[in-house]
Amino acid sequence: MSTAQDAAPAEPADAEVQTPKKRSGGFPTAVTVLAIVTFLVWILALLIPSGSYEHDEYGAPVAGTYQEVDSPLSFGDRVRELVLSPVNGFYGLQDLASGFVSTENAGVLFGSIGVVVFILAMGSFMGVVFATRSLEVGIGGLAVRLRDRGWLLIVVIMAVFSLLAGTMGFSVETFGFYALLIPLMKAIGYDRMTTVGVIIVSISVGAMGSTVNPFSIGVASGEAGVSIGDGIVLRIVLWVSMTAIGIAYVLRYAQRVRRDPPRSLARDDDDGDGVADPAAVERLTGTQKTVLGITGLTFALLIFSVIPWASIFGATTGPAEADVIHETTTDPYWFQLDWWFPELAMLFWIAAIVIGIVARMGEKDLIGGIVRGAADFLAPALVIALARGVAVIMTNTQTLDTVLNYMERAVSDASAGVFSVLVAVVNAPLALLIPSSSGHATLAMPLLAPLSDFAGVDRALTITSWQLGHGLALMVAPTNVAVVAGLALAKVGYDAYLKFVAPLLGILTLYAFLVLFIAAGFG
């Protein structure tokens, strides 16, 4: 995204060669894009009638029970909802009886304040780490060793991230890796977009091919009344093939940029990170090695602590929530931590203090690093609140059930092959409004599962189709915090990212539809 750095410095009057200035206009930043999306969704909510389904004891809608209702809000109330949507997106609470989201409610947290605090804490940690120059020196040495094997680094990272995304919903946990990977990739000869591709593409294809993720497949299987293992062979095939497609696509782009840097799609967003020439390698001091060790352990603990081990190996179905409480119904193993945003935020703040002590930083330097690091991550935090505000508008205007009813009617009376493809198609726009896979599954699957029986489609295949539609949409959704906040952290424009990912999205969409159509034919 463009920042104050976009203003090019004045050229000397006698300069013979003028350096091209960076664009001062162009595509808006992620914050502006989401503000526009919020307003458009608000307009859409004015045109869509309010409605509701009857819900079962678990809060899932009952198929065939939709009816229109009078709007609960006057026009003045709707204007108020638009104005307050970012605030409600931060720390709105949802009333359990009415479902209404407001900061004045007593209920469950609906806003994204947990994610925001987590991102600011991560920024504080990275600010302190960078102040020790440990990453800068370490990355310089690593870049020399990987100069001719950068492709291997891309393959390994993308395979691991895709696996984590497909098994436990690894997504926002990737935010801290941008600060690690951007300077490393640039030192090897790649650009910022390569890092974006490595992270966002890997978690996107992993989510599309989810195998036993309790927050998507587990919830959807529970709502559809089937085992989480039903359809797992097809999902494994999809995970392997789509991960391979994603890796090949990113590798092709990375090698092209390395051979011909002017072809980079992120040139206008690249401000230079001050990474030293990897040929001039500094040696890590003992303190810097210790700092790198603490950094590695912190990220390893982050990954370990959020994995729901019992749900994955127990292959259970049923309610789960990933956005706020990161909780499943399965009894955890004794070693399972089940941490989420509060614990992760404190993990990074405590680790930042430990690094400050190890590096013998003074109190003012340590606090200064913590504050400056948090400030650097403020833009992604704002983006997350705006994205959540969109969901608040749809929830409070009671138009979400109407969108669900449109989807239910769209897939009715279709043949098996067409039904499987249509499920993916109609769920894509719903994913834009409900980026949470657990929330999306809870709303959509109770309606889709009975319809799949009439179409002669196995319910497990319907789950796979829903999952593909959800994942394809989230790869470019401006309401997906993993995308918009990731782009903000990488300082890559949303328009540049769309140019980068559009061909891959087309390839994956055609491939997914073909697989679904063939799978439905085999029954």
Between the two ends of the chain, the Cα-to-Cα distance in Å is 46
Q: How many CB atoms lie within 10 A of CB 374?
A: 22
Q: How far apart are CA 190 and CA 383, in angstroms?
A: 26
Range of the domain at 483: 30-55+70-521
Q: How far apart are CA 475 and CA 9, in angstroms?
A: 35
Beta bridge partners of 94: 101, 108
Residue 155 predicted with pLDDT over 90: yes
Which residues make Cβ contacts (< 8 Å) with residue 78, sequence separation at least 6?
A: 42, 45, 46, 397
Give the pLDDT score at 177.
Answer: 85
Mean pLDDT of 177-183: 87
HEC sequence for 454-501: HHCCCHHHHHHHHHHHHHHHHCCCCCCHHHHHHHHHHCCCHHHHHHHH
Q: How far apart are CA 414 and CA 425, in angstroms?
A: 13
Give the pLDDT score at 434.
Answer: 81
**Side chain identity at 506, as an amino acid letter?**
G
Query: Is 153 a member of any domain?
Result: yes
Q: Which range (73-87, 196-210, 390-404) has the least confidence?
A: 390-404
What confidence tens digit (pLDDT) does each residue in 207-243 have? 999 887 777 887 788 778 887 778 888 999 999 999 9
Query: Is 5 a member of any domain?
Result: no
Q: Which range (10-14, 143-147, 372-376, 481-485) has the least confidence?
A: 10-14
> What percentage of the chain exceeds 70 in pLDDT?
87
Query: Is 310 a member of any domain?
Result: yes
Question: Confidence class of residue 314 from pLDDT cuts 50, 70 and 90?
Answer: low
Question: Confidence class of residue 62 from pLDDT cuts 50, 70 and 90?
Answer: confident
Q: How far apart are CA 376 and CA 384, in angstroms?
A: 15
Query: Is 466 a member of any domain?
Result: yes
Choose the most confident range, by mean pLDDT, from 107-116, 290-299, 496-505: 496-505
Q: How far apart are CA 515 and CA 93, in angstroms?
A: 41
Number of domains present in the structure of the chain:
1
Give the pLDDT score at 315.
Answer: 57
Mean pLDDT of 189-218: 90
Q: Which range (121-135, 235-249, 256-270, 283-297) has the least confidence?
A: 256-270
Distant-in-sequence contacts of 338-341, Cβ < 8 A, 24+ apart: 338/305, 338/306, 338/308, 339/305, 339/306, 340/114, 340/306, 341/114, 341/115, 341/117, 341/118
Question: Confidence class of residue 281 from pLDDT cuts 50, 70 and 90?
Answer: low
Q: How many CB atoms lie within 10 A of CB 99?
A: 17
Question: Confidence class of residue 329 from pLDDT cuts 50, 70 and 90?
Answer: low
Q: How far apart are CA 454 and CA 444, in angstroms?
A: 16
The distance of Cα 155 from the centroid of its chain, to the nearest Å, equals 20
Query: Is 201 a member of any domain?
Result: yes
Which residues make Cβ contacts (< 8 Å) with residue 197, sequence separation at least 6?
A: 249, 250, 253, 254, 500, 501
Give the pLDDT score at 326.
Answer: 63
Question: Confidence class of residue 46 from pLDDT cuts 50, 70 and 90?
Answer: very high
Q: CA nearest 433: which of 468, 462, 470, 463? A: 470
Query: Is 8 a member of any domain?
Result: no
Tokens of residue 381, six digits? 């935090």
Residue 193's Cβ-side half-sphere holds a number of Cα atoms within 13 Å equal to 28
Query: Is 285 a member of any domain?
Result: yes
Q: Which range (98-107, 125-134, 408-417, 495-504) has the least confidence?
A: 408-417
**Side chain identity at 495, as an amino acid letter?**
D
Choose the most confident range, by mean pLDDT, from 97-101, 330-334, 492-496: 492-496
Mean pLDDT of 60-69: 84
Residue 59 predicted with pLDDT over 80: no
Query: Is 19 a member of any domain?
Result: no
